[in-house]
Every structure is written in structure tokens, then in C-alpha cells.
Chains A and B, each alone.
Chain A
């Protein structure tokens, strides 16, 4: 084998920048042989259409997804996870509407379940939100490159994010099933535990809840309810959220008899603000179009934030190290489909073929 040629590599990377393909970081230049190794990991025709934005007249195929995944730095064997992630996102109503163009600049939240986590090296423990792990980082980045390059949604043009958010194309976590007291997130989404699957939705930000202060499930949930109920994140009549619990918090809740459903029921009742609180922030008015506005005319009362205790309005996953009571509230861009998409088990032959 000849030594890698850094100068040729750099010239190829600069070529990719010059074409406007990059999200700002260097790309892996995609060649035919590399992309063919990606395509060999899935039993799908290269020209199969997997995404359409009719309003922009843009179409994503398996082949284009493979090129972008390769450019993102994925290994070929990650490609089935990229396709499952993409399909999970396509099922989100917001991604077929204006989600990718939105001023809120929402990020995909990607949750991976099942044996594929260990097979491909997805991090599920410490630093679950990253960085530091190739599989997590590059699968999320691949989605961003597909949106940019195939849908042609570029910042400052069709993408109108006011500020965007940290980690927009890098939030891919593996669920810590081993230290979660609950069934895998994907099992809630209809895929049996033990089968690899991806769940995904769009989020607007992540906010930590650090509570190493109480052994009471109610006090702990009260701390979450406070973060969830802040007025700044609340723009419509209701809002949907998610929580990525650390193992310690999840186990504390489970020990007190809380399953996911009980957590949701509790939070639906306790998350919200008084009308006077909302009026102080100019968000008490409830118009026909569903957007809150300054009214000042409503009688005192309590507005619940969550529309229901359905999982579509409150995604609950478990990830991170079991070393502290630090969890993350994630702000969903709209509702979550509630679905999980299976990652097809790869044929052993294909696996051998893609390993260099």
C-alpha cells in the first residue's frame, strides 16, 4: 500500500468547499468505489426515491444519500442507520413542510436502539450528546448534508434560521438500554426490543436539569416541570417536549413506580403557567390561528403546556453515564410521529465486503 497523499487529499477537500457542498467542516470526497461500498450495505435500488420536497422540486435518492453519508465521514456500514434515520425524519410532518427552512433552525434529534449500537460503536454512555464518537457524529452530519446538498436548503437563502442552535447536525444519541429501567424507546414505537431501530424528530434546543438534590420522584419531576414550563419556549396554545433522562434520574423514577406513561401523566398535570404569568410575557392570548399573543383580557387560570399524555407530545429516552443526576429537556419543534424505523440486519456477506 502506498502512503496516503496529504496534498492530494487537501486538494480534493478544497474542491468540495469550492462547490459549496460543505457545512463548514472538511468533507470526505466521495468516489464511485467508496459510494458503491455504501450501496452494498443495503438491499435498495440506488435510484429509489426516499424523500421529496415538491415545493422546491427536489428529490432524494438512495444514491444521493450514500454520497452525502460518505462525504459526512460515515463508514459504509453506517449507511443502513442513515437511511433509517432519514425515513424516521421523513415521517415527521414538519420535515415535509417548512421545518428545514424555519427561522427556528431546528435540529434532528436521532435516537438509536438495538444491537447496531455496539456493532457500529454508537456511544450511549458518558457524553451522549457528543462529541467524540464517529458513528454518532457522522450519521447526524449526513442528514444535514442531504438537506443542504440534495434539498438545496442553504443558510441565508432557503434556510432562514435566525440563530440556529448549537449542535444542529450532531445530535445522534444511542439509548442506554442497559441502564434504563424502561423498555427501549423503539419498543414504544412498535419495534420489538432487541431489533435495531431509529427514532427521530426535530428539536429547537436542549436544556439541562441538574438535580442531585432529592430522592423524591415528585420533587425531581417538579424540577423538570419548571424547566419545561418556561414561557420563552412556548409559542402556540400547547407545546411538545422530550426528556433524555440520565440513568440515575430514570432509575429513581422507576424505583418510585413511575413508568414512561406515569411520568407523562404527572407532567401533563403539572407543566404549565398561570394566565397572569403568561400575560406578563405577552403570551396569554389564544387566537384562532393557534399562536399565542398579548391579550391581557383573560381571567386568571392555569394553561397546561402539554396537549396530552401521548408519547407523541412527550418523548422519553434514557442516555448518558450513571455518574450524576443530569438530564436534558429537549424542545420539540412540533409533535413527534411516535414511530421507530427498523434498521435492516445486514447480510454477513455485505458486511465483509464493506470492511476494507
Chain B
């Protein structure tokens, strides 16, 4: 018998994906009176896009206002547990992003999964150029098929006016993610 060829990965082959394995926070029927949290990741225009989305959530969907806005210290890494807990305590819903690079798109999705597990509905906004890595991270985090909102790439070079238009474009998707009972 010849020697076996050794596997260099250290992992068993991935099992078949089981959708909806990850916990998902309970949804409210609408955003009336909802306390909004924004978690921005330092990417150019991310803070502005989140603020513009929040403005629309308040003006057009009855949200109470932004009660917490923080900047991730390490955009490439998932948010630390304390930060997730702080959002879960203070907010009814969270909008986060913008996934606009190789690692931050993946980590934004990881944040969404963590926030859901902590009991707060989350909407992740990700550039449409990073769907593959966002989906891969969702699967790694036990949430294959995790849904997020995409916006056309690029985001970093948009003018403030264009960012506002983007917000108008994505807000319906954000509301749907935060309120729909089923994914």
C-alpha cells in the first residue's frame, strides 16, 4: 500500500450548509419609535451613509432616533463582545457597514450575525463587489445565506450628495431586513 497523501488544511470537508442555523433576533412589525444604533467601520463615506440612512429611518419610518454611534477600532475584525452587548442594551435595531474592502466586508457580516445572536435585529450594508467574501464569512459563522443590503461599488469616492442618494436607494432594503419576520 502506498502512503496516504496528507491533508494540509486541518479541517474536515465542509458539511452541507444548513440554512437558518444561526440565531436571529425577533423582529418588530415596523420601526415606529425604534432606537437606532449605527456601527461604522472607518471606511470612507461609511459614517455618512449610515447617518443618511438613519435620517430616513426617522423621517420616513418613524424611528425615534440614533441613540448610539460608534466606530470600530479594527475594521478587519468582528466587533468585540462588549461592543455588541452595548448595542444590544441601548438599541432596538442596528445598521452597520460599509463593507467596502476584503476583510471589512466579511467582518461586517460577522457583526450582523453577532448582533442577531445578542437579540438585536441588524442590517449590514455591503458593497456589491464583496458579495463572495461576505457570503463566505456568513457560512463560516454558521449563518449560510445570511441576508444583507448591497450597494453599488464604489462607495468611497462618492460626493456627499451622491451618498445621500445611495441612502435613499438602500433604505427600503434596510427596513425590510430590520422588520421582516422571516429572512
In the assembled complex, A168 has its CB within 8 A of some CB on chain B: no
Do A12 and B5 have beta carbons less than 8 Å apart?
yes
Q: How far, in Å, is A65 (CB) from chain B's closest CB?
A: 9
Q: In the assembled complex, which residues on chain A have CB atoms less than 8 Å from the CB atom of B101?
A: 98, 102-103, 160
Contact mask A29-41 → B, CB, 8 Å, 1/0?
1111101000000
Which residue of chain B has its CB nearest to the CB of A8?
B2
Interface centre among A145, A157, A293 (most CB of B within 10 A): A157
Within 8 A of A (CB), among B1-28: 2-11
Q: In the assembled complex, which residues on chain B have CB atoms less than 8 Å from the CB atom of A19?
A: 7
Q: Which of B2, B8, B42, B77 makes the CB contact (< 8 A) with A97?
A: B77
Do A101 and B76 have beta carbons less than 8 Å apart?
yes
The number of residues on chain B lying at the interface, defined by a beta carbon within 8 Å of a beta carbon of chain A, is 32
Contact mask A76-113 → B, CB, 8 Å, 1/0?
00000000000000000000011101110000000000
Q: How far, in Å, is A36 (CB) from chain B's closest CB?
A: 10
Do A291 and B44 have beta carbons less than 8 Å apart?
yes
Do B9 and A101 have beta carbons less than 8 Å apart?
no
Q: Which of B6, B42, B137 makes the CB contact (< 8 A) with A35?
A: B6
Bound Cα distance from A328 to B102, whole angstroms: 27
In the assembled complex, A161 has its CB within 8 A of some CB on chain B: yes
Bound Cα distance from A60 to B42, whole angstroms: 30
Do B10 and A31 have beta carbons less than 8 Å apart?
no
Q: In the assembled complex, which residues on chain B have CB atoms less than 8 Å from the CB atom of A150?
A: 8-10
Which residue of chain A has its CB nearest to the CB of B75?
A98
Q: How large, as a class, is the contact surface on chain A? A: 35 or more
In the assembled complex, A64 has its CB within 8 A of some CB on chain B: yes
Interface centre among B3, B103, B110 (most CB of A within 10 A): B103
Contact mask B120-138 → A, CB, 8 Å, 1/0?
0000000000101100110
Contact A289:B44 (CB < 8 A) given known A98-B103, A103-B101: yes
Binding site for B on A (CB under 8 A): 8, 12, 15-16, 19, 21, 29-33, 35, 55-57, 59-61, 64, 67-68, 71, 97-99, 101-103, 145, 149-150, 152, 156-161, 287, 289-291, 293
Please give me the 10 A-B residue pairs with the lowest Cβ-Cβ distance, nearest first.
Answer: A98-B103, A98-B76, A160-B102, A31-B3, A97-B76, A101-B102, A101-B103, A149-B8, A30-B6, A67-B8
| 8 cross-chain CB contacts under 8 A | A8-B2, A29-B5, A59-B10, A97-B76, A98-B76, A98-B102, A149-B9, A287-B44
Additional A-B contact list (4), CB under 8 Å, known A31-B5, A99-B103, A150-B8: A55-B106, A101-B133, A160-B105, A289-B71
